[in-house]
Structure 1
Amino acid sequence: MGRLIVVSNRVQAPGDAGVGSAGGLAMALAAALREHSGLWFGWSGQTSEAFTGKVTTRRVGAVNVATIDLDEQDRQEYYNGYANKTLWPLFHHRTDLASYERSFDAGYARVNERFAAALAPLVARDDMIWVHDYHLIPLARELRKRGVRNRIGFFLHIPWPSRRVLTSLPRHQELVEALLDYDLIGFQTVDSREAFQGYVTDTLGGAVSAAGDVELLGRRTRIGAFPIGIDVEDFRQAAASATAQTVHKRMRRSMTGRKMILGVDRLDYSKGLEERFLAYEQFLADNADQIENVFFLQIATLSRDEVEAYQDLRARLDAVSGRINGAYATIDWVPLRYVNRSYRRDELAGVYRAAHVGLVTPLRDGMNLVAKEYVAAQDPDDPGVLILSQFAGAAEQMDAALIVNPFSREDVAEAIRRGLVMPKAERVVRWRELMDGVEAQGVSLWRDDFLMALLEPRSGGGAPAEPPSPFGERLPSGYATA
């Protein structure tokens, strides 16, 4: 293969130690690109008065970065609109929050066309293209229209919705059929993979081969589950840094002998923050002996402030946190510390290590790398306890955590109590099993498994993979994906 070309909605400089862990996409892609002399292409995050299509390139370490600016209409219709007001809530089973507007559809299609038009001239004969996330589902189709015959893979970082939820999306069939122009479609979990396969068979009348490939409209597309992990060695270095140690000592001093429960999330309704606050309130009501002996620190980085649903969520969290502190705080103890700012990864590593309980309770999540980072940051001789939602993708790999139903405040409250009083011997055993999994299923395995699958020969009849054709040659009619 030639270069690896990574395409994502936003481009952040790979290897930047200041990139936060919330979401995890930037650090995962940085780890993938470090071993390939590649290109990272996407939106700069900037808007211009009018769209020009100009590509700006720069060198960051061993990676070439190429970006384009969008115009304000693109940002509103494609990013704030279809991506964050339509697909994001729908894929997280929040149909009550999903907005369907024709201008959103038009903006989404237009920006994917603009991405393809800017990227296609940069693609060399042997390059392999790896497209990321729900913002760019139609990108392969647009690249194929422009004659790009290279191998193109797609990875979805968020959950794939159930068939009945997806069919509430206008033109859902068109969106799914666009995915068939990829050679490989990757999901975080087996559950998401099976949901996609079920949609193809039950709604589109397609078929699934014995190997799990999807067959539809005379084409066959490879499907796989590729659970993402963290760069364990990189995170260990961050956790061992002087900054992490300073933050850890600072947190220990601020605890004044109390135990700390920790949540670290982007402020989003999918993360279950309001339900988590209510569960903590239930814990305080049920465990009078823990009053003044424990506190909950929730770090919730603000995001998507222009979207009304996020504004409403922030207002509710402010109200609930105020009520809890008003009801339970004493003159020298605040039960809930609620912080709306971001922290560096090395700073977060120090906070993770100080926490006796890590509370990761999304209502629905593709993977959730915070759970894995919390485990990796722990003291092997005296580790904390991970409480994990059954609806996080990480739950498929981390069953040694205390698995909870995030919709049940009693379930979460009881898990908090259990985590705080868990004997050290049990904590060590659980942590060791979790850490073994985090080490074995790191970001390198995710990267290698996906890229190897993308390079595999075309399935069906034992036919070898067709070598990449020179750029510019149009696709023949009936082109079949691998």
Structure 2
Amino acid sequence: MSRLVVISNRVAVPKARGAAGAQGGLAGALNAALRKNGGIWFGWSGQGVDQFTGSINYARSGDGVTTATIDLEYQDVDEYYNGYANSTLWPLFHFRLDLTRYENEFGVGYERVNERFAEAVVPLIAPDDDIWVHDYHLMPLGEQLREKGVKNRIGFFLHIPWPPTNLLVSLPFHERLVRALLRYDLIGLQNGTWLDSFLHYCRKELGAEVDERTGTVVLDGRKTIAKAYPIGIDYDHFMSKGETGEARQAQQRLQSSTRHRTAMIGVDRLDYSKGLPERLDGIGRFFDNYPERVRDLVFIQIAPPSREDVQSYQHIRAVLEQKTGQINGARSEVDIVPIRYVNRGHSQEELFGFYRGAKIGLVTPLRDGMNLVAKEYVAAQDATDPGVLILSKFAGAAPQLDCDGEGALMINPHSSDDIAHNIRLALDMPLEERKARWERMIGTVRDDNVHWWTENFVGDLAAIELD
């Protein structure tokens, strides 16, 4: 059995067995795959230094998972991470041309860091290792590895959307980027929509031979396979959080504080792709249309900050604080505040309790690769009295959770009226319909979990025949 080498921008440095804060979700799944296959997890340490040395920091967990990290120069962090990755690729791939910055030095820094990753990791790769590279930070890494003589199977998974061709062509040197991506043997995307967009670009802009049925792309005599692999949550790990006292206490705190009002919850990183201002506009429209229902509903938005060095993220925080203040100012009573805006993170145990206590989950991204909050909300529900999920049709999770119109309530996140209408439907939905909708969603959430996703991708990568 081949060893597995995982490469990502950041690495979940393993903790000792039994240590607090053990990893769940993607980190837990990748650690499980590494334990099963052996191997190493390589990436950036998250630390900045004055001068790049390429020296590797090793760590090893009690479960035998080894991580290897490198420090990057402050200039690297600014140009590669804050710059090209999060000020160019992230907004563009989330359909936000208005926020996309095209700076030559960003692209130079991006390629420089990918080359530094390649130079540092090549000595760690054995001839029969399978290599799995993750996400938009490292799209050119496969090509860099090939140029350094790596002949192993190399797979790549994109965790964010793939934009339509007419948006991607606005990126300077877009052909160069996608040609580099096609040096991977296997490319995974979150769903069929993003896969179709990728294949369309390869056919239209590169003139590649594309077989949509198999996802095969042939360019310059080289074959790459592209497939959809919808990621899931670590279901068993997440459900175990619900058995803790911390989860039960969080549920009780939420329910006792709402004073018999229905709690509706949103949990999102503070990011413009999540549709948070539009979400608040929809909630404001709901209270405008049904002012008497301010005593029936309280909305709790948990939005921990992220990427605070990027200007657009500072702006969205200010916008959310303003909109929350306006709605609360117009609709609050002495004993009632309609929106609670929480600008910090919470543990998985607490989130499980909050999800369980909230009878409506509001997930309204303008674009998302997948969105696991939607799946976590479904998983956390009480089967005898489940809540209602309101979900953006532009979330990557929508094809799985729509359930032919009988799962989540699907909305257009750009429409305040649509959001308001579906909040009313969720608030008034009878128990039997809530149970029927939840039962259609929970099977997918439980079975198509993160371990199923990992095994499918790693299995397909291992099955590729090397030249």
Q: Under a length normalisation based on structure 2, what TM-score does the superposition of the two structures give? A: 0.95
Summarize the Cα distance change of 1:432–1:34 in structure 2 as closer, same or farther, 3 Å threshold. Answer: farther
Task: Write out aligned runs for 1:203-352 (5 A).
Answer: 203-209=205-211, 210-352=213-355
Deviations 1:299-329 (A, max 9, x none): 0010011111111111111110000010001
Q: 1:83 Cα deviation (Å)?
A: 0.2
Query: For 1:434 and 1:390, how far apart are their aligned partners in 2?
Result: 15
1:52 paired residue number: 53
1:475 paired residue number: none
Summarize the Cα distance change of 1:250–1:186 in structure 2 as closer, same or farther, 3 Å threshold. Answer: same
1:128 paired residue number: 130
2:140 paired residue number: 138
Q: Report SS of the residue matched to 1:403.
A: strand
Q: Which amino acid aligns with 1:26?
A: A
Contact kept? 1:251, 1:354, Cα under 8 Å = yes
Q: 1:125 Cα deviation (Å)?
A: 1.9
1:39 paired residue number: 40
1:95 paired residue number: 97
Q: Report SS of the residue matched to 1:223.
A: strand
Q: 1:37 Cα deviation (Å)?
A: 2.6
2:412 paired residue number: 405
Q: Which amino acid aligns with 1:11?
A: V
Query: For 1:233 and 1:13, how far apart are their aligned partners in 2?
Result: 22
Q: Which amino acid aligns with 1:145?
A: E
Query: For 1:140 and 1:65, how far apart are their aligned partners in 2?
Result: 20
Q: Which amino acid aligns with 2:451?
A: S
Q: Which amino acid aligns with 2:81?
A: Y
Q: Which amino acid aligns with 2:369?
A: G
Q: 1:405 Cα deviation (Å)?
A: 0.5
2:9 paired residue number: 9
Summarize the Cα distance change of 1:33–1:250 in structure 2 as closer, same or farther, 3 Å threshold. Answer: farther
Summarize the Cα distance change of 1:383–1:30 in structure 2 as closer, same or farther, 3 Å threshold. Answer: farther
1:106 paired residue number: 108
Query: For 2:21 and 2:267, how far apart are their aligned partners in 1?
Result: 16
Contact kept? 1:260, 1:356, Cα under 8 Å = yes
Matched, 1:414 2:415: no
Q: Report SS of the residue matched to 1:393.
A: coil
Unaligned runs of 5+ in 1: 459-464, 467-482
Q: 1:123 Cα deviation (Å)?
A: 0.6
| Runs of 4+ more than 6 Å apart | none
Identity value in percent: 53
1:194 paired residue number: 196
Pick from 378, 384, 387 the counterpart of residue 387 of structure 2. 384
Of residues 404-413 and 54-63 in structure 1, the stretch that sits farther from structure 2 once superposed is: 54-63
Q: Which amino acid aligns with 1:452?
A: G
For CA contacts below 8 A with separation 6 or more, give which structure has more relative contact order: 1
1:157 paired residue number: 159
Contact kept? 1:20, 1:343, Cα under 8 Å = no
Q: Report SS of the residue matched to 2:433.
A: helix
Deviations 1:240-288 (A, max 9, x none): 1121111111112111211101000000000000000000000111112
CA RMSD, 1 decimal: 1.5
Q: 1:26 Cα deviation (Å)?
A: 3.5
Contact kept? 1:133, 1:155, Cα under 8 Å = yes
Q: Report SS of the residue matched to 2:309.
A: coil
Query: For 1:19 and 1:82, how far apart are their aligned partners in 2?
Result: 31
Query: For 2:161 and 2:275, how far apart are their aligned partners in 1?
Result: 15
Q: 1:34 Cα deviation (Å)?
A: 4.6
Contact kept? 1:19, 1:345, Cα under 8 Å = no
Query: For 2:214 and 2:139, how far apart are their aligned partners in 1?
Result: 23
1:423 paired residue number: 430
Q: 1:4 Cα deviation (Å)?
A: 1.1
Q: Which amino acid aligns with 2:146?
A: R
Query: For 2:249 and 2:31, how far apart are their aligned partners in 1?
Result: 26
Number of aligned positions between the proteins:
458
Summarize the Cα distance change of 1:27–1:317 in structure 2 as closer, same or farther, 3 Å threshold. Answer: farther
Query: For 2:395 and 2:28, how far apart are their aligned partners in 1?
Result: 19
Deviations 1:145-203 (A, max 9, x none): 11111111000000000000000000000000001110100000111111011001111
Q: Which amino acid aligns with 2:27?
A: A
1:450 paired residue number: 457
Contact kept? 2:26, 2:234, Cα under 8 Å = no
Deviations 1:77-104 (A, max 9, x none): 0000000000000000101100011110
Q: 1:18 Cα deviation (Å)?
A: 4.1
Summarize the Cα distance change of 1:234–1:25 in structure 2 as closer, same or farther, 3 Å threshold. Answer: closer
Q: 1:452 Cα deviation (Å)?
A: 1.5
Deviations 1:397-441 (A, max 9, x none): 001100110001110111111111100011111111110111121
Q: 1:20 Cα deviation (Å)?
A: 9.2
Task: Write out aligned runs for 1:430-441 (5 A).
Answer: 430-441=437-448
1:66 paired residue number: 68
Contact kept? 1:20, 1:342, Cα under 8 Å = no
Query: For 1:28 and 1:406, how far apart are their aligned partners in 2?
Result: 31
Contact kept? 1:31, 1:443, Cα under 8 Å = no
Summarize the Cα distance change of 1:449–1:20 in structure 2 as closer, same or farther, 3 Å threshold. Answer: closer
Query: For 1:285 and 1:29, how far apart are their aligned partners in 2?
Result: 46
2:364 paired residue number: 361
Q: 1:457 Cα deviation (Å)?
A: 3.7
